[in-house]
């Protein structure tokens, strides 16, 4: 069996946790749902009604939170850990999610790809986080389920953790003495 990687080194600096949220469109180049819907309707006019229905029912397709992760997020917030997020969601869809999930209001700042015109793993998205909110990359922890995004964060000077499940996240954050 493959050896399990060791936990990241524990820093004595204050830490900031940055959590990811994904763009439900599945198109990494798509910043705005409305643009994507219009493009698809023009390309496939015979499916225009279906595309309109898909967009109008988008909130019905929005999944729920990963409860163990939200529990850890609550503990971090209650401990006074500054929380920020980077999301690849569109400018139109993120407000819907924010209304539905109260925990999204726990973040002191959120970089939304659809508002910035750049998605993970582009290094510019991490620069938006540091410039817009004054986050010091050396004290930040970036959590994402896609290794390529974690690698990009590491390259940008932000310590990254690959999310696989809530229990492992909790263990990783515990090893870093954040929980």
Higher pLDDT, residue 3 or 71? 71
Per residue in 148-176, pLDDT (tens digit) is: 999 999 999 999 999 999 999 999 999 99
For residues 125-145, average pLDDT: 92
pLDDT tens, residue by residue, 28-39 = 544 466 777 788
pLDDT at 10: 42
Local structure of 117: helix, strand or coil:
coil
Q: Distances in Å between the alpha carbon of 31 and those of 14, 39, 46, 48?
A: 33, 13, 24, 20
pTM of the model: 0.75
- CA–CA dist 27, 33 (Å, integer): 10
77-119 per-position pLDDT tens digit: 999 999 999 998 888 888 888 998 999 999 999 999 888 888 8
Q: What is the pLDDT of residue 32?
A: 61
pLDDT in tens, 35-76: 777 888 888 888 888 888 877 877 777 778 888 899 999 999
Residues in the chain: 179
- In angstroms, the Cα distances linking 162 to 26, 55, 79, 125, 142 are 19, 31, 23, 18, 9
Asked if residue 20 has pLDDT above 50, the reply is no
Residue-level pLDDT at 6: 44
């Amino acid at each position: 069996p493959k050896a399990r990687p060791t936990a990241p080194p524990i820093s004595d600096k204050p830490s900031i946790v940055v959590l990811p949220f994904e763009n439900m469109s599945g198109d990494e180049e798509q910043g705005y749902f409305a643009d994507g819907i219009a493009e698809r309707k023009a390309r496939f006019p015979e499916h225009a009604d279906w595309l309109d229905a898909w967009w109008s029912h988008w909130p019905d397709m929005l999944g729920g939170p990963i409860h163990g992760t939200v529990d850890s997020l609550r503990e971090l917030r209650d401990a006074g850990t500054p929380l920020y997020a980077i999301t690849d969601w569109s400018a139109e869809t993120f407000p819907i999610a924010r209304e539905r999930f109260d925990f999204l209001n726990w973040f002191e700042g959120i970089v939304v790809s659809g508002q910035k015109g750049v998605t993970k793993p582009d290094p510019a998205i991490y620069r938006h986080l540091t410039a817009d909110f004054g986050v010091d990359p050396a004290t930040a922890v970036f959590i994402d389920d896609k290794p390529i995004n974690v690698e990009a964060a590491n390259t940008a000077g932000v310590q990254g953790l690959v999310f696989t499940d809530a229990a492992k996240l909790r263990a990783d954050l515990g090893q870093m003495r954040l929980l």
